Chain A
Amino acid sequence: MTGTRAALHRPGTVGETVRILAEAGDAELLAGGTDLVPALRAGTRRPRAIVALRRVLELRARGACAQALTIGAGVTYAELADWACAPGLAATARAVGSAQIRNAGTVGGALGSANPRGDLLTFLTAAGTDVLTCSARRGPRTAPLDDFLAGAPGRGRGELVTAIRVPRPRGPQVFLKIGGRQAAYPALVSCALVVDRAGGRVSCAIGGVASTPLRASEAESFAAAEIDWTSPGRDEAAWASVARRFGALVADAARAAPAQLPEGPRDPAAYRWHAAGVLAGRALARCFAGGDQEHGAPAEGGARMPHLRSSGGDQGHGESAEGGARMPHLRSSGGDQGPGESTEGRGR
């Protein structure tokens, strides 16, 4: 066996990891492998060295303090999926892939791949997230997710994501997505809505439209202004019209976003803008009116076998988490798996 230069490194600590990364030059980090290993097989990535994080136990920690949740880069979707402190994150994690993917795929891998269709990125954008990184050259740093993602293409190798920090939920949170079979394909469009009742704010992020998740600030201010934060009881018809207007504003924001993703035969840009609006309107209705007035009763979730779908074709899917839930009451339902939702068909 000549030339065993190619190497697998399996460090045990963050310090060791960043040192190896700095020394190894062309090295690829490996977490769960759900993105990287198929890419290695396909030959689309050919690192000379791989630095595997499986043994770095400090990356697997997660914790909660009064203000924020800190989640190590090595935490898997499956671990997030039953985390009661973070119902919105949990719902998002449950909407990812299959059991096999959720057991392996990690938060750090989602950030490392920075897939514009990544479900977690959409949710984290709405929630307002900081990314904690470490490199041998610059030591530990913290950056807002937007900055992290903006730097992603040119981000030097050698930077390890150690954790993310997300504010504690302070109101209802909903994640919805639409696309092909969830277990096999990323969503075409996803939408996360995060409500901060104490601060009177609504945050909405859309994934799958532009190269990074976009925020719909005009729609957010509209919703915040429409909501009576002190006594939110309001009749459902009124909510339906607010939700419709909200969705239209989100669709406008999607249309206006720079760096649109390339169109495919199955996802022309106009379809994505429309889907963004529909999902956002639905998400808002879920948060406040406790239902989906426009589209009838929520249907079953998406993570099913394909034959279940009467359409037999593409399916929408999504989940909501009413963390601290519907206005005005109910903190107790937080963490319950909301019903999934089928989205309307592809027809435009």
Chain B
Amino acid sequence: MTAVGTDTGAGSGGDVPVRRVLDRGSAARDDHADEDTDAGPVVQPYRLHVDGGLRTVAGAWLGDSLLTVLRERLGITSVKDGCEQGRCGSCSVLLDGQLVAACATLAADAADARVTTLAGLPADGLAPAVRAAFLRHGAVQCGFCTPGFVVAVTDLLGRRPQADEDEIREALAGNICRCTGYGRIIAAVRAVQADITSAGAEP
């Protein structure tokens, strides 16, 4: 099984060596192989538009989630693997601009969609301010949840720059943080909003 994905990579996290970062779930895969010796559920190679680059995914399993492919085949490790059940938000990415859980998205079905991870959030957009605010306000402790939060917060503030605290909390309810208690995260979001307002700039 080759883990592939080096055809472009420029500016799309492709500088991370491609390797198997995690091999969780391999037991399930071996079961597949036993059951299905000469016809493993391998799909045809396909391409993914990730963070502005076109990446080829070959030798992937039919059932691979976008999380698995991004991390284990394309080496994009900012997309965290927390629960693989759509519950923790640590794998949050944008799929054609919509916030989704990568672990609940079939990778091969994302082939003609645009996938945006933390690294692909536009540098001239809100993401740098969100990242800076997270650091400034102590919204990062262990950091495991942070990439997912930054993607979710950037998405929220892009759509709803004036969101009040209730709306912010509701929008971020799918992202779990086990360290900060959320107060620091909310403070960071509020700070970004305050900056937007005082700059008088529309995001």
- DSSP majority for the A interface? loop
Chain-A contact segment, one of B100-108, B135-143, B192-200: B100-108
Task: Indicate which residue in B28, B39, B87, B113 contacts A41 across the interface (CB closer than 8 Å).
Answer: B28
Chain-A contact segment, one of B8-16, B48-56, B119-127, B166-174: B166-174
Give the chain B neighbours of A182 by CB distance below 8 A. 173
Given the contacts A4-B42, A308-B169, A30 and B109 also touching, CB distance less than 8 Å: yes
Task: Indicate which residue in B35, B103, B175 contacts A38 across the interface (CB closer than 8 Å).
Answer: B103
Complex contact B109–A101 (CB within 8 A): no
Tell me whether B62 is interfacial, beta carbon within 8 Å.
yes
Interface string of A129-152 (1 = CB under 8 A from B): 000000000000000000000000
What's the interface size class on B, roughly?
35 or more
Complex contact B104–A183 (CB within 8 A): no
Give the chain B neighbours of A300 by CB distance below 8 A. 166
Tell me whether A100 is interfacial, beta carbon within 8 Å.
yes
Give the chain A neighbours of B166 by CB distance below 8 A. 300-301, 304
In the complex the two chains form, what is the Cα distance from A104 to B94 in whole Å? 11
Tell me whether A42 is interfacial, beta carbon within 8 Å.
yes
Give the chain A neighbours of B39 by CB distance below 8 A. 2-6
Interface residues of B in 20-53 (CB under 8 A from A): 25, 27-28, 31-32, 35-36, 38-44
Task: Indicate which residue in A33, A47, A99, A184 contacts B104 across the interface (CB closer than 8 Å).
Answer: A33
Task: Indicate which residue in A4, A100, A301 contacts B99 across the interface (CB closer than 8 Å).
Answer: A100
Which residue of the partner chain A has the closest CB to B68?
Answer: A41
Interface residues of B in 39-88 (CB under 8 A from A): 39-44, 58-59, 62-63, 65, 68, 84-88
Cβ distance B112 to chain A, nearest Cβ, rounded Å: 8
Tell me whether A1 is interfacial, beta carbon within 8 Å.
yes
Give the chain B neighbours of A54 by CB distance below 8 A. 109, 113
In the complex the two chains form, what is the Cα distance from A52 to B63 in whole Å? 12
Complex contact A103–B100 (CB within 8 A): yes
Interface residues of A (CB under 8 A from B): 1-8, 10, 30, 32-34, 36-38, 40-43, 46-50, 52, 54-55, 78, 97-101, 103-104, 181-185, 300-301, 303-305, 307-308
Interface residues of B (CB under 8 A from A): 25, 27-28, 31-32, 35-36, 38-44, 58-59, 62-63, 65, 68, 84-89, 92, 95, 98-101, 103-106, 108-109, 111-113, 152, 166, 169-176, 181-183
